[in-house]
């Protein structure tokens, strides 16, 4: 992704607080760098729905009329879809050519519509079946925002078939870099690695928005985007291969400074429960408070130097209990490969990160933020407008000096996608029905679910 330094960005010029903020943060109390035992919960995805949700239906009697010129434009585009990271054979070019040559209008309308809708589905939503998208839980509004039947009608009316299909590409410049790199890939393996990541871009919303936070797990980096500009980049610690971080895009609603930590039952059972029973004074010294006993024991760690969440936690509600937070274990940020957590994203320079959140997204002054930190009390800064946090997984990214860089596939998630290239792709998101259906689904079906708790 593109980089921009805060002090040189247009945003900093509009908001002088961006330059004052680091001085405030330096005055905040330092946190001890102590080790903290972590949770051992592992994500357990439920059964995956392996087909694209049916969100549109058209009957054979209402198929659009294809002119020969539009059909030939579609055929020409299909022959070049290798540039899009797709495979021409998927879209039946031989049958389309035969339909064009046949002079049979009904046949042409059916074949061309089939090919267009399948190709448009793959360009908009990705080709990869859900079963090959390991722990991918991002929601994508493109199905609702870009209905394909209307898109097809517009393309045929304007004669802009190729332009319409190209217009389905993700708008982020990183996708364009991957697309350009695919043309110069030196080996089939290099080409497949690029295709995998072009696919992942298509699994996400086409437009990420004007402001958001994105953590790229294989890159071990978190970036803050405001006004379309990268205003900060922070090192990240992500999940270990045995407790991998899932991919999701919850809305961030606020930043909590000096947070408390409610311990999952697994950690209570692993040690702190015994400490509370045998040496409650020691547990209190470590900041723990509790109610109940035995199986009903509930433990909360209060804010302080030993708190496992450090000085801040991003509030981003999701069923996987994944969030961005600080850590007292700062040494982990010095490693090149930083897959040490049990799922959550630990964030380097957490005072700076949470200060940006408070100033840019919650409308607070640097002084207000500094006072909240210094108080030691749990304080929540609610964002004026919630924004998405994208926890992504790109293993090929733009290089610092041009071209692309291949990152380590720390969770082995590329291989299932590559394997899917040799199999049929996901079905079209439009069903062509011989008769009007009794019920037309209008709400996309969530592709996967998972139930987890307390991942840290």
CA pair distance 343, 238, nearest whole angstrom: 6
Are 207 and 96 spatial neighbours (Cβ–Cβ below 8 Å)?
A: no
239-243: average pLDDT: 94
Task: Identify the band that residue 435 occupies on the pLDDT scale cut at 50, 70 and 90.
Answer: low
Q: Residue 138 burial by CB count (10 A; 0-12/13-18/19+): exposed, middle or buried? A: buried
The pLDDT value recorded for residue 270 is: 79
Are 50 and 129 spatial neighbours (Cβ–Cβ below 8 Å)?
A: yes
Q: How does DSSP assign 215-274, residue by residue? A: EEGGGTEEEEEETTEEEEEEEEEEE-TTSPPPBB-PEEEEEEES--EEPPHHHIIIIIHH
The pLDDT value recorded for residue 5 is: 34
Summarize pLDDT for 114-157 with one digit per residue, the tens: 999 999 999 999 999 999 999 999 999 899 999 999 999 999 99
CA pair distance 18, 356, nearest whole angstrom: 8
The pLDDT value recorded for residue 436 is: 60
Lowest mean pLDDT among 38-42, 216-220, 278-282, 293-297: 38-42
Res 320 pLDDT > 60: yes
Res 333 pLDDT > 80: yes
CA pair distance 293, 145, nearest whole angstrom: 51
- Which CATH fold topology does 6-45+210-392 show? L,D-transpeptidase catalytic domain-like (2.40.440)
The pLDDT value recorded for residue 266 is: 78
374-393: average pLDDT: 96
What is the rounded end-to-end Cα distance, in angstroms, of the chain? 26
Are 200 and 85 spatial neighbours (Cβ–Cβ below 8 Å)?
A: no
Lowest mean pLDDT among 24-38, 46-60, 233-247: 24-38
The pLDDT value recorded for residue 269 is: 86
Among 346, 348, 378, 355, CA closest to 36: 346
Task: Identify the band that residue 342 occupies on the pLDDT scale cut at 50, 70 and 90.
Answer: confident
Asked whether the CA dihedral 135, 46, 240, 302 is positive or negative, the reply is positive
Are 203 and 125 spatial neighbours (Cβ–Cβ below 8 Å)?
A: yes
Summarize pLDDT for 242-298 with one digit per residue, the tens: 999 999 999 999 999 999 999 888 778 878 889 999 999 999 999 999 999 888 999
Structure tokens at 92: 């039946």
Res 399 pLDDT > 80: yes
Task: Identify the band that residue 54 occupies on the pLDDT scale cut at 50, 70 and 90.
Answer: low
User: What's the CA dihedral at 258, 264, 266, 271 to 10 degrees?
Assistant: 40
Give the chain's radius of gyration (CA, Å).
Answer: 25
E strand or H helix at 109, and its extent? Answer: helix 105-125
Task: Identify the band that residue 437 occupies on the pLDDT scale cut at 50, 70 and 90.
Answer: low
pLDDT averaged over every residue in the chain: 86
Other beta carbons within 10 angstroms of residue 210's beta carbon come to: 11
All structural domains of the chain with their residue ranges: 6-45+210-392, 56-204+415-433
CA distances from 311 to 27, 193, 316, 394, 431 (A): 14, 38, 16, 29, 51
CA pair distance 165, 180, nearest whole angstrom: 17
Task: Identify the band that residue 448 occupies on the pLDDT scale cut at 50, 70 and 90.
Answer: very low
């Amino acid at each position: 992704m593109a980089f921009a330094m805060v002090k040189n960005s247009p945003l900093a010029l509009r908001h002088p607080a961006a330059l004052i903020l680091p001085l405030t943060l330096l005055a905040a109390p330092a946190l001890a760098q102590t080790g903290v035992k972590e949770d051992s919960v592992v994500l357990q995805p439920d059964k995956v729905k392996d087909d694209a949700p049916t969100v549109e239906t058209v009957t054979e009697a209402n198929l659009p009329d294809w002119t020969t010129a539009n059909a030939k434009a579609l055929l020409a585009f299909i022959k070049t879809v290798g540039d899009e990271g797709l495979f021409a054979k998927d879209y039946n070019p031989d049958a389309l050519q035969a339909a064009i040559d046949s002079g049979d209008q009904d046949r042409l309308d059916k074949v061309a519509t089939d090919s267009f809708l399948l190709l448009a589905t793959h360009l908009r939503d990705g080709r990869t079946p859900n079963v090959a998208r390991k722990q991918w839980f991002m929601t994508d509004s493109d199905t609702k925002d870009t209905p394909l039947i209307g898109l097809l009608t517009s393309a045929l009316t304007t004669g802009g078939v190729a332009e319409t299909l190209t217009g389905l590409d993700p708008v982020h410049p990183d996708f364009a870099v991957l697309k350009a790199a695919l043309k110069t890939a030196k080996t089939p393996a290099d080409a497949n690695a690029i295709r995998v990541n072009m696919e992942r871009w298509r699994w996400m919303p086409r437009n990420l928005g004007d402001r958001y936070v994105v953590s790229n797990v294989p890159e071990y980096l978190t970036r803050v985007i405001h006004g379309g500009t990268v205003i900060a980049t922070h090192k990240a610690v992500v999940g270990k291969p045995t407790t991998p971080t899932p991919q999701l895009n919850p809305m961030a609603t606020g930043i909590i400074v000096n947070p408390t930590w409610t311990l999952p039952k697994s950690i209570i059972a692993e040690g702190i429960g015994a400490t509370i029973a045998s040496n409650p004074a020691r547990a209190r010294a470590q900041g723990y408070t509790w109610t109940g006993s035995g199986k009903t024991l509930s433990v909360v760690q209060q804010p302080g130097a030993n708190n496992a969440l450090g000085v801040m936690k991003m509030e981003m509600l999701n069923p996987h209990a994944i969030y961005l937070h600080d850590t007292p274990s700062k040494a982990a940020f010095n490693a090149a490969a930083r897959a040490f957590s049990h799922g959550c994203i630990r964030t380097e320079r957490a005072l700076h990160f949470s200060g940006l959140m408070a100033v840019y997204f919650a409308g607070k002054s640097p002084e207000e933020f500094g006072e909240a930190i210094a108080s030691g009390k749990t304080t929540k800064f609610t964002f004026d407008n919630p924004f998405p946090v994208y926890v992504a997984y790109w293993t090929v990214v733009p290089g610092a000096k041009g071209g692309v860089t291949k990152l380590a596939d720390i969770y082995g998630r590329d291989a299932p996608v590559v394997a899917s290239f040799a199999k049929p792709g996901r079905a079209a998101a439009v069903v062509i029905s011989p008769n009007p259906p009794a019920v037309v689904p209008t709400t996309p079906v969530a592709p996967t679910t998972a139930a987890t708790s307390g991942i840290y």
